[in-house]
């Protein structure tokens, strides 16, 4: 419960940060980081899952792009168990990195302890919580805006008025995207009902597939594919799917109607620039995953799969979001099946 | 009311059988090892290795059945490695088993990363397709459920029958059971205790690997790290539930599959009222309850986990 509240109040703070709150934090942060660093920066990333995992693959891609530009040297450890995470962080830190990127969802306390032990290194971690001084910045996949837009596509496309959603774990990072998707679907189709299930695993495609089959059996004709495996079930049973984080429409031609994409480049590039300039702050970089910063996007819509009037509707809403006229709610509560 | 109607749907039973298939392979494999007196906790890792080896072989151009054979071979090799430590050297079966699980898991992943250093998604293969046996569809509920299964599920059923036949109707089966109950008597007969145990480990571990291979070659069409997700450990519990009998093992695996298929349907039905985690716990809680009820009467192999050293009493 406290997590939800933190998160909600965090959004307000996030807005404040974007609006110039950076200066406040800058004044109070440690001095150790406040010196310019030469190119290329020494960067290490520590992931708890393989780099093929959708979420992590976006970070990996952005860092590889930075490496190819010559901005950084990039070393990474994947599939690091949470119980090993602190040790690996310390190892990279003692080897003398400029910047360490990772995900601290299950190791918040330990990760923040390590960061405070190495004040000269910038830490940027995926987290559901707030940044901590002097050097622990956070980010997250705030792609609820395009998720809302894909929800509109799904709400218009469903004929049975039943949409199925299969998620990994019911945590804020997953919940907020599902909630935004459901809100988007409801906005264009008030009659739509949702079936929601979680599989309690990030990486069990056979299980995700079974959950999707169960929903299709109950009449779902659009599947929100938060996990690998759901789109496969949709393809086998000839229903449509909505993609999440990555665009897999090339692998499933004719199955994926739309995808909400996450792009880590704006976040990573901003972090690298700040560390190089000596202006790195323990800030919340979540805002750089918003559409306005190019951190999130709606995949191109195929007129063969989505009717033109729906495309126009979605594009109009997309413009409203980009212009700041429409704000998609961030709701981290666990989504529930409609009765 | 709808909660009960689910039980009459063919698609529900099809899902239950699909979920149960890797468990059937695994529990029969574990049962054969344990009948010979060796607890094989390498099962979770052998699942991973089998899933990886079979899928990789097919990806590299082998036929599906060749992939199945390669998965079984890899499983057998890990079984023999387990046997080297536990049967020949007489070391702790617990420690060796956990070691095999860690080693096989890491080796499979290492192999995966060496083969695919920079892919954005694991490559897919053309997996086993449902056989779609028309004749079966005449039987209500269970017929259409069986018709949706792939050849590997039928292989799993065949393995149950074969294991039951061999264990209870052949001299070899008698020797395997005896070596798990009283190895000294087998030795007195002039049979090789080590040979029987190694053979059982190789065969049992090959079946475990097929359980993994089912996941990457039938239930899904790609290898993902972590996708075994504790299925091997479930098989160890099911072996006790089955009280080391193949026909009960089949029932246990199907029961677990049915619980799991049921919980995901209940999540969409009553998920608004009851937290999703309660449903996710359900198959495991019911397994524990079943174990408690059944395991007290379980007739375990008397020499389970006891290494046999010739001439020692």
Residues 6 or more apart from A304 whose CB is under 8 A from it? none
Rounded distance between C-alpha atoms, residue B153 and residue A112, angstroms: 49
CB contact under 8 A, A52 and B224: yes
In a domain? residue B129: no
Rounded distance between C-alpha atoms, residue A109 and residue A112, angstroms: 5
Candidates 3.90.1150.10, 3.40.50.10310, 3.30.450.20, 3.40.50.2300; correct CATH number of A144-262+294-322?
A: 3.40.50.2300
Alpha helices in A246-307 (DSSP H): 265-277
**Ramachandran angles phi, psi of A44, nearest 5°:** -125, 145
Reduced DSSP (H G I as helix, E B as strand, rest coil) percent helix, strand, coil of chain A, to 5: 45, 20, 35
Query: Where in chain A do CATH 3.40.50.2300 domains reside?
Result: 23-140+264-289, 144-262+294-322
Q: What is the DSSP letter of A48?
A: S
Put residue B162 in one of left, alpha, beta given phi > 0 → left and psi -120 to 50 → alpha.
Answer: alpha
Q: Would you list the DSSP string of A200-251?
A: S-SS-HHHHHHHHHHHHHTT--EEEE-STTHHHHHHHTT-EEEEEES--TTT
Q: How many CB atoms are closer than 10 A to CB B169?
A: 10
pLDDT < 50 stretches in chain B: none
CA torsion angle for A121, A125, A127, A131 (degrees, to 10)? 30
Q: Any chain B CB within 8 A of the CB of A66?
A: no
As for the ipTM of the complex, it is 0.93
In a domain? residue B138: no
Rounded distance between C-alpha atoms, residue A260 and residue A242, angstroms: 8
Task: Report residue A126 CA to chain centroid gap.
Answer: 9
Measured between CB atoms, which of A197, A228, A232 is closest to B276? A197
3-state secondary structure of A183: helix
Place of tokens 């951190």: A295
Q: What is the pLDDT of residue A32?
A: 57
Q: Are strands A136-139 and A193-198 parallel, antiparallel or unpaired?
A: unpaired
In a domain? residue B123: no
Give the model confidence (pLDDT) of B215-266 as tens digits: 999 999 999 888 999 999 999 999 998 999 999 999 999 999 999 999 989 8
CB contact under 8 A, A201 and B19: no
In a domain? residue B240: yes
CATH classification at residue B29: 1.10.3470
Token output for B38 = 């060796």
Measured between CB atoms, which of A197, A206, A338 is closest to B219? A206
pLDDT < 70 stretches in chain A: 1-32, 34, 339
For residue B101, CA distances in Å to B41, B79, B135, B235, B261 come to 7, 11, 42, 14, 27
Rounded distance between C-alpha atoms, residue B181 and residue A271, angstroms: 65
Kindly tell me the sign of the dihedral angle through the C-alpha atoms of B236, B240, B242, B245: positive
Q: What is the DSSP letter of B271?
A: T
Interface with chain A: mutation pick from B16, B267, B275, highest number of A CBs within 10 Å: B267
Range of the domain at B49: 2-116+147-295
Measured between CB atoms, which of B120, B227, B267 is closest to A204? B227
Residue B276 with chain A: CB contacts under 8 Å: 170, 196-198, 334
Residues 6 or more apart from B93 whose CB is under 8 A from it? B38, B39, B40, B41, B86, B305, B307
Helix (H) or strand (E) holding A75: strand A72-77
How many domains does chain B contain in total? Answer: 1
For residue B222, CA distances in Å to A64, B80, B155, B194 come to 25, 27, 20, 37
Q: Any chain B CB within 8 A of the CB of A255?
A: no
Helix (H) or strand (E) holding A4: helix A2-16
Q: What is the DSSP letter of B55?
A: H
Q: What is the pLDDT of residue B271?
A: 65
**Ramachandran angles phi, psi of A50, nearest 5°:** -65, 155
Measured between CB atoms, which of B121, B215, B268 is closest to A218? B268
Whether residue A40 is preceded by a cis peptide bond, meaning omega within 30 degrees of 0, is yes
Q: How many CB pairs under 8 A join A and B?
A: 103
For residue B227, CA distances in Å to A56, B23, B111 come to 17, 14, 16
Alpha helices in chain B (DSSP H): 2-5, 10-35, 43-59, 64-83, 93-115, 142-147, 151-169, 171-181, 183-188, 193-214, 231-241, 246-270, 276-295
Give the model confidence (pLDDT) of A133-190 as tens digits: 899 999 999 999 999 999 999 999 999 999 999 999 999 999 999 999 999 999 999 9
The CATH fold assigned to A23-140+264-289 is Rossmann fold (3.40.50)
Which own/partner contact pairs does A314-318 have at CB distance under 8 Å and 24+ positions apart?
Answer: A314/A149, A314/A152, A314/A153, A314/A258, A317/A148, A317/A149, A317/A152, A318/A149, A318/A291
CB contact under 8 A, B260 and A246: no
CB contact under 8 A, B224 and A218: no
Rounded distance between C-alpha atoms, residue B223 and residue B111, angstroms: 12
Rounded distance between C-alpha atoms, residue B241 and residue B251, angstroms: 10
């Amino acid at each position: 419960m406290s997590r939800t509240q933190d998160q909600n109040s965090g959004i307000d703070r996030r807005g404040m940060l974007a609006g110039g709150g950076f200066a406040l934090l800058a004044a109070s942060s440690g001095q150790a980081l406040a010196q310019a660093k030469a190119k290329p920066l020494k960067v290490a990333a520590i992931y708890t899952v393989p780099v093929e995992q959708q979420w992590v693959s976006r970070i990996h891609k952005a860092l590889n792009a930075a490496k190819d530009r010559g901005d950084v040297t990039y070393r990474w450890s994947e599939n690091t168990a949470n119980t090993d995470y602190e040790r690996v962080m310390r190892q990279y830190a003692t080897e003398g990195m400029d910047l360490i990127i990772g995900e601290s969802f299950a190791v918040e306390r330990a990760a923040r302890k390590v960061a405070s032990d190495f004040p000269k290194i910038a830490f940027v971690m995926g987290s559901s919580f707030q940044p901590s001084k002097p050097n622990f910045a956070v980010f997250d996949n705030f792609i609820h805006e395009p998720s809302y837009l894909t929800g509109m596509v799904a709400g218009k496309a469903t004929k049975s008025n039943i949409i199925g959603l299969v998620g990994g774990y019911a945590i804020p990072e997953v919940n907020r995207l599902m909630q935004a998707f459901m809100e988007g679907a409801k906005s264009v189709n008030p009659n739509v009902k949702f079936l929601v299930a979680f599989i309690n695993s990030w990486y069990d495609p056979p299980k995700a597939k079974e959950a999707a089959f169960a929903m299709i059996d109950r009449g779902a004709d659009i599947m929100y594919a938060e996990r690998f495996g759901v789109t496969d079930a949709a393809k086998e049973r000839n229903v449509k799917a909505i993609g999440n984080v990555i665009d897999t429409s090339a692998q499933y031609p004719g199955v994926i109607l739309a995808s909400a994409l996450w792009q880590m480049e704006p976040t990573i590039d901003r972090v690298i620039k700040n560390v190089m300039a000596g202006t790195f702050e323990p800030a919340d970089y979540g805002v750089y995953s918003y559409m306005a910063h190019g951190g999130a996007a709606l995949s191109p819509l195929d007129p063969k799969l989505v009717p033109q009037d729906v495309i126009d509707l979605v594009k109009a809403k997309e413009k409203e979001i980009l212009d700041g006229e429409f704000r998609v709610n961030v709701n981290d509560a666990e989504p529930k099946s409609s009765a | 009311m709808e909660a009960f109607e689910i039980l009459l749907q063919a698609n529900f039973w099809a899902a239950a059988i699909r979920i149960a298939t890797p468990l059937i392979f695994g529990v029969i494999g574990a049962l054969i090892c344990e009948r010979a007196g060796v607890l094989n906790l390498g099962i979770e890792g052998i699942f991973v290795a089998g899933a990886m080896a079979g899928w990789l072989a097919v990806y590299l151009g082998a036929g599906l059945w060749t992939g199945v054979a390669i998965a079984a071979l890899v499983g057998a090799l890990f079984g023999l490695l387990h046997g080297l430590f536990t049967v020949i050297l007489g070391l702790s079966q617990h420690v060796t088993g956990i070691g095999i699980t860690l080693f096989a898991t890491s080796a499979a992943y290492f192999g995966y990363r060496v083969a695919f250093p920079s892919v954005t998604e694991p490559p897919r293969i053309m997996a086993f397709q449902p056989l779609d046996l028309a004749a079966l569809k005449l039987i209500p509920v269970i017929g259409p459920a069986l018709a949706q299964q792939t050849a590997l599920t039928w292989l799993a059923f065949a393995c149950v029958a074969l294991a039951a036949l061999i264990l209870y109707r052949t001299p070899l089966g008698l020797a395997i059971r005896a070596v798990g109950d009283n190895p000294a008597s087998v030795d007195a007969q002039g049979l090789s205790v080590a040979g029987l145990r190694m053979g059982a480990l190789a065969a049992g571990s090959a079946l475990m690997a097929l359980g993994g291979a089912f996941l990457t070659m039938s239930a899904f069409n790609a290898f993902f790290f972590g996708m075994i997700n504790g299925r091997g450990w479930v098989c160890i519990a099911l072996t006790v539930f089955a009280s080391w009998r193949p026909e009960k093992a089949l029932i246990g695996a199907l029961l677990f599959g049915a619980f799991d298929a049921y919980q995901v349907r209940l999540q969409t039905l009553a998920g608004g009222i009851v937290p999703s985690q309660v449903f996710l716990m359900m198959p495991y809680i019911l397994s524990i309850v079943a174990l408690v009820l059944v395991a007290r009467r379980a007739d375990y192999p008397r020499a389970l986990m006891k290494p046999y050293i010739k001439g020692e009493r």
